Amino acid sequence: MCVGSIFGAIWLSTEGARILKQKDPQFIVIDEIVGFLVANFSCSSAIDCFGLEFSIISLLRYRQGIPTNRLERLPDGAGIVLDDVMAGVYTLISLRLLLKMGWPDL
């Protein structure tokens, strides 16, 4: 499901960017949605987990480092979507580590 969503988001983002004649239109948000979907891959249903996850992914999306910032340079929808997918992967790893250490107590 995640992989299919990623490919669908890349296609939709490519088409949207072409129609709007912009490299990364700000109101295309499917990339953020797919990144959050990747981050949710291992989250329990606890609402506290979603809040923590949202905070981590928001921080990582705006403070992108290597290799995430390099993914933005990919052509078309791949550049639009894959940087947010990488932020989702980083969030997934961070959240799993936090939960493994026992924080937060969910």
Model confidence pLDDT, tens digit, residues 69-104: 788 889 999 999 999 999 889 888 888 888 788 876
CA distances from 8 to 19, 62, 106 (A): 17, 23, 33
In this predicted structure, what is the pLDDT of residue 57? Answer: 82
Any idea of the CA torsion for 60, 10, 5, 71, to the nearest 10 degrees?
A: -30
In a domain, 106, yes or no: no
What residue numbers bound the domain in which 30 lies? 2-100
In this predicted structure, what is the pLDDT of residue 97? Answer: 87
In a domain, 9, yes or no: yes
Q: Provide, rounded to the nearest whole percent, the portion of the chain with pLDDT above 90.
A: 35
Residue 27 DSSP one-character state: T
Q: Which residues contact 46 (CB under 8 A, 6 or more apart)?
A: 106
Model confidence pLDDT, tens digit, residues 11-67: 999 999 999 999 888 889 999 999 989 988 766 666 667 777 888 888 877 776 767
Domains of the chain: total = 1
